[in-house]
Structure 1
Amino acid sequence: MLESYLTGLIVCGGIIVAIGAQNAYILGQAIRREHHWWSAGFCMVADVALLTLGMFGVSAALLAMPEALEIMRWLGVAFLAWMAVQALTRASRGRAALEAGEITKRSLRGVLFTTLAVTLMNPQVYLDTLLLIPAIGAQQENPATFVAGASSASVLWFSLVAWGGSALAPILSRPKAWRIIDGAIGLMMAAIAIQLAVSGL
């Protein structure tokens, strides 16, 4: 049982730590201290739900409908490109310009809606949580314990991103640092969108 738990923890941890759209978005929210724990909590709940569904056979249904993944792929490309443009625009204008001009704080509802979109419009999320990780879990002696380990990895990682980004906010939110971070997030989102568009799934 412990072996299955640790396998889930390590496998999911190794996959989720890779910098992707979700991580970049949560980090940006944490540095802004803009409802970042709500965003992180939503990602945790979404991961746990998708991992559980994957272990209960949703992966088989998803494989039977490849057109669904293709639709999600292009929706993901469009959304990530939009996020990239927003981040690069913030980077070019700078934090001071943003504070002087437009609204600096979004509502909780707006943040959660964007978190929902970043999570559910990224086909890589489905490949990881509904296909790849459950495929490994199905080979374990105790699949339920494996899911618990994988879920723990998600909770630990998003907690670390939310806490770490917030703790480092006084340093990372300086105008120059913020422009670099926004630029990096924008380029990351753009790279993921291009990879999805060119290479597919």
Structure 2
Amino acid sequence: MTPLEILSTTATGLGAGLALIIAIGAQNAFVLRQGLRGEHVGLVVLVCMLSDIVLIAAGIFGIGEVVQAVPAVVVVIRLAGAAFLLSYAALATKRAFRPGALNASAQQGSLNRKVVLATVLTLTWLNPHVYLDTVLLLGTLANQHGDLRWWFGAGAAMGSVIWFSALGFGAKLLRPVFAKPGAWRVLDGLIAVVMVVLGVKMALGI
């Protein structure tokens, strides 16, 4: 393999990884919200990045074939994930309509480290699309590159590192907007809508 082949394969993996994770989803919405709050951002970003790296590696090792062979596992994960997303949507709706929702300062410091960790792990690992997209799809694409498959995986992992770092730590640039009354109400309302849509689609297997 030549340096040019390595660079080209890594860049292809980077593009594929970014294409899959940038789409609006429950995990990204939570990372954004924590970034805006400035609350346990490093922990959330680290968990998301490490989870993606593990899942990408699992796909390259061929775990995606197991996922295809035992579809019942994906069904269980899908239903559990749907239940969690709808529950999270209910909490976001409650935050959006509670009397103190217009007070931006009330949005700070309400989630402890354990709750944040449990939430980001659940949003990541109970999402069936993680196994179908990251493990199965990226794993399949990587293995098409033969001896260069790990370079493809490195590129995809790099995409996760870049995206979650930018989303989590870059969210602070929007904090002046969310210092205004009502901004958090709008954000929580949008998050609730996203969670409901994703939860229903997940429950229906769409």
TM norm structure 2? 0.91
Shift of 1:6: 0.6
Residue 96 (structure 1) aligns with? 103
Shift of 1:124: 1.0
Residue 3 (structure 2) aligns with? none
2:9 to 4, 8, 11: 4
Residue 166 (structure 1) aligns with? 172
Q: Which runs of 5+ in 2 are unaligned?
A: 1-5
Residue 184 (structure 2) aligns with? 178
* Total equivalences in the alignment: 198
Shift of 1:103: 8.3
Task: State whether residues 90 and 98 of structure 1, in contact with CA within 8 Å, keep that contact through their aligned partners in structure 2.
Answer: no
Structure 2: how far apart are the matches of 1:108 and 1:57?
34
* Residues 127-178 of structure 1 deviation map (CA, whole Å, 9 limit, x = unaligned): 1111011111111251000000000000000001012212322322433111
Equivalent residue runs for 1:32-51 within 5 Å: 32-51=37-56
Match for 2:38: what amino acid? R
TM norm structure 1? 0.93
Residue 63 (structure 1) aligns with? 68
Please state whether the residue corresponding to 2:111 is helix, strand or coil.
coil
Residue 152 (structure 2) pairs with residue 146 (structure 1)? yes
Residue 25 (structure 2) pairs with residue 20 (structure 1)? yes
Structure 2: how far apart are the matches of 1:112 and 1:195?
25
Identity of aligned residues (%): 37
Structure 2: how far apart are the matches of 1:10 and 1:55?
17
Give the direction of change, closer, same or farther, for the CA distance of 1:97–1:171 in structure 2 (3 Å limit).
closer
Structure 1: how far apart are the matches of 2:108 and 2:144?
50
